[in-house]
Structure 1
């Protein structure tokens, strides 16, 4: 058995049975070995950023790592933006990055690079396998590292000669590390301040944005009279009818300040204190109000849900959380605005849907009209590096067959990883993509004002507007085998979205927005 065969068998035995990839010459023995381990599902992506983003979506939905096969340092570099997002989401993932054969490295061939340095920027664990006898053990350790709480990226660098050399054997799975327990005195201290009578808020993130954590946090908030917030960009937020409602903190700093005004104690549970996305002239970087104390009950690697349960038992014995009732808005009519799209989503979102949100400016108000829709998941742009939406939707659909994935995508960010549509068509994934066509990088227009700059002339405007020519997402989708339609009114969008979420396979709706 060669190194590649032992590696793939070890991955499958360790629960890694999907690999998103864009291979090259150095990875050909890994590709050939797929025929010897049929339990491994290989999913071809036409760009490495699609492969890494798809593995992110898969890991968020399953809690298990997917493999990612990347070609040398340049392939890894092409996937780094979505590896950055996955790192911020604490997504379990095992990238396998091919490298030149060890004896070839001395010649500094054109594709040679410092893979270790690149991988180190996003990896919580990293190793270069030196021999075929090492690779299976290294793979087992990578899986365990990726699954150790709260989850993360464990990168295995696979030289070509290690891959093709014989003498390897599979390795048994290794146990992953569980979450750290939160000390009793920490829980008791937070309980004391929540019952002190001073204005408090609870900010949840990480594992606390799933049902168990939200129910415990909802009990605490109701009993203590505290406000309950969710971090701005949760990796996966479970929401909808029958679950405790939680308000996501907005992205804009002034709006965060308004939400937290008057709060004297901010309790962070699996979330970091809020900060500005960027530095702005004459504005503080921290968004914690002056005079508000921050108390960290549990960090990402801690037993976040367990700490919340114990806190609820102290603060709210016998108290049940408030639950979101089923409440759908009326179907919209008239101009196609972001608010109209939000109302249509709230009215038509199918039960069990997975919403992947990279609509940026167009989806800021979406949580309100969709709050009372049937239960669903909401996945967000955790690291801020755009080009995430279409790939994450692809991976989420592979992870959750039978559930409709709805990808809310900006027109500018869609172009970063548009080739994900081809993978969706090839795999026949149930993904409905809504592209918000406002013909501009609209978020940057607001950022100009925030930093005190102006762009009123043709040269500066050309770097913000998506025109000359206009992007045609119906044609782009058709070219990759995905049926598409264009909506210019609310009525057209309702008809197209209703059809798209009930038909199998991928669909694209080019939502041409009415822009004031």
Structure 2
């Protein structure tokens, strides 16, 4: 058995049975070995950033890693932005990165690069297989370490892949997340009983668990603490029957206002919040100077168990206030961002997976979907735009029995528009709504926020997507995805309803006022 065959059999044996790939010459023996291991599903992407973003979305929904197959240092470099998002969201991913044959590396071939430095920028674990006898054990280690450290990268020299003498390795036993000490729970309960203004700040595994959210709601009801979630969660469960959970706003002035007067900030699965960027005369964090930060459960610890234990200690007899089922009325007339959000809230299917890269066009989106049927919400964790469409690919592969709705800004869609082709090829049940305002609107806001806006024509040209305008219907249909264009609220409702009801991928180009 050659190294590639042993590697794939080891991955499958450890539960990694999907590989998002954009391979090259160095990976051809891995590609050939897929015929020998039919349990491994290979999913072709046309750009490495789609492969890594899809692995991110898959991991968030499946709760286990997918593999990526990338070509040498340049292929890995093309996927780094979405690996950055996966790292920030603590998603487990196993990268298999092909490298030159060991005898060829010394010749400094054109594709030779500092692969280890590139991988080290995003990997919690990194190893190079040095012989066919090592590769299977290395693969088993990679899967185990991805559960502990997020991204594990295994560098696979071409000759290690093609040479014989390898055998599969058994999977390593998993390790449960560390438990929070009872004394920590007691200390936080004492803070909550103090009567001082307190925010229970939720993130990580806590916002992805119905049980944890219900327990957090019980704590809030029994102690008067406010519930708040991190701005961008890797996966959050939402909808009717759960407590209302407000996200910390993205704009710094709004985030500061949201926490004003808070004396205690209790972190449960989240880190202490900071602004995405530094601004003139604005503090780097929205946490008030006189606020004490307490850690109930750090990321990587069992935050779900910690919050449930806290509910029993701090508010054993309280009952959480839960959101009633509600939907907005379907709007009519002009297709504004809020009207788009109302259409989504009115039509969101039960058990949907919403992939949110809507950015500035998401006016009212959280409010108007809060009472919808239970659904999962995936956000842009690391701020590297272009993750939305690939994450939708990965989520749909992980959950083929659930509808996936990708809410996608127009500018960031173009970073990884090739994901539409993979949706069509795999016939994934993904409905894409492009928020088409014809600009990098988020950067227009940032230009003003940092004090650099002077209404300059040349600066404006770098933020506007016209001349020529993007034709998302043509782009989608050219890659095999049926597409329509909506210019009114009624058209969007009609087209979204039809797209959600039909199998396979569809795209709706929602033309917003800035575009017209």
TM-score by length of 1: 0.98
Cα 1:455–1:101 change in 2 (3 A) is farther
Deviation, 1:175, is 1.4
- In structure 2, the partner of 1:279 is 278
- In structure 1, the partner of 2:379 is 380
Deviation, 1:290, is 2.5
- C-alpha contact (below 8 Å) 2:338/2:363 kept by paired residues: no
- Structure 2 distance, partners of 1:181, 1:478, is 50
- C-alpha contact (below 8 Å) 2:341/2:363 kept by paired residues: no
Alignment of 1:107-186 (within 5 A): 107-148=107-148, 152-186=150-184
Q: Secondary structure at the match of 1:35?
A: coil
- Structure 2 distance, partners of 1:89, 1:361, is 21
- C-alpha contact (below 8 Å) 1:145/1:176 kept by paired residues: no
- In structure 1, the partner of 2:350 is 351
Alignment of 1:82-101 (within 5 A): 82-101=82-101
Deviation, 1:222, is 1.1
- In structure 2, the partner of 1:208 is 206
- In structure 1, the partner of 2:253 is 254
- C-alpha contact (below 8 Å) 2:222/2:317 kept by paired residues: no
Deviation, 1:458, is 2.4
Deviations 1:393-450 (A, max 9, x none): 0100000012110101111000000000000000000111010111110011110111
Deviations 1:238-276 (A, max 9, x none): 000122221111101111111112111000111111111
- In structure 2, the partner of 1:464 is 463
- Structure 2 distance, partners of 1:19, 1:322, is 42
- Listed as ranges, the gaps of 5+ residues in structure 2 are none
Alignment of 1:65-80 (within 5 A): 65-80=65-80
Number of residues of Structure 1 aligned to a counterpart in Structure 2: 514
- C-alpha contact (below 8 Å) 1:126/1:155 kept by paired residues: yes
- In structure 2, the partner of 1:63 is 63
Q: Secondary structure at the match of 2:508?
A: strand
- C-alpha contact (below 8 Å) 1:455/1:461 kept by paired residues: no
Deviation, 1:455, is 4.5
- Structure 2 distance, partners of 1:245, 1:80, is 35
- Structure 2 distance, partners of 1:198, 1:314, is 18
- In structure 2, the partner of 1:235 is 234
- Structure 1 distance, partners of 2:316, 2:211, is 16
- In structure 2, the partner of 1:497 is 496
- Structure 1 distance, partners of 2:92, 2:242, is 26
- Structure 2 distance, partners of 1:23, 1:96, is 10
Q: Which runs of structure 1 show a deviation greater than 6 angstroms over 4 or more consecutive aligned residues?
A: none
- Structure 2 distance, partners of 1:328, 1:303, is 34
Q: Secondary structure at the match of 2:161?
A: helix
1:47 aligns with 2:37: no
- Structure 2 distance, partners of 1:100, 1:398, is 31
- Structure 1 distance, partners of 2:363, 2:312, is 35
Deviation, 1:17, is 0.3
Deviation, 1:364, is 4.5
- Bigger Cα displacement from structure 2, 164-173 vs 309-318: 309-318
Q: Secondary structure at the match of 1:429?
A: coil
- Structure 1 distance, partners of 2:454, 2:28, is 49
Deviation, 1:379, is 0.3
Deviation, 1:187, is 1.0
Q: Secondary structure at the match of 2:213?
A: helix
Q: Secondary structure at the match of 1:70?
A: strand
Deviations 1:365-407 (A, max 9, x none): 3100000000000100000000000000010000001211010
- In structure 2, the partner of 1:193 is 191
- Bigger Cα displacement from structure 2, 453-462 vs 424-433: 453-462
Cα 1:409–1:215 change in 2 (3 A) is same
- Listed as ranges, the gaps of 5+ residues in structure 1 are none
Deviation, 1:319, is 2.4
Q: Secondary structure at the match of 2:343?
A: helix
- C-alpha contact (below 8 Å) 1:56/1:392 kept by paired residues: yes
Deviations 1:100-146 (A, max 9, x none): 01110000000001111111111111110000000000000111111
Alignment of 1:310-329 (within 5 A): 310-329=309-328
Deviation, 1:346, is 0.7
- Structure 2 distance, partners of 1:511, 1:26, is 42
Q: Secondary structure at the match of 2:513?
A: coil
- In structure 2, the partner of 1:103 is 103
Deviations 1:185-232 (A, max 9, x none): 211110001001111110010000121221121111111110000100
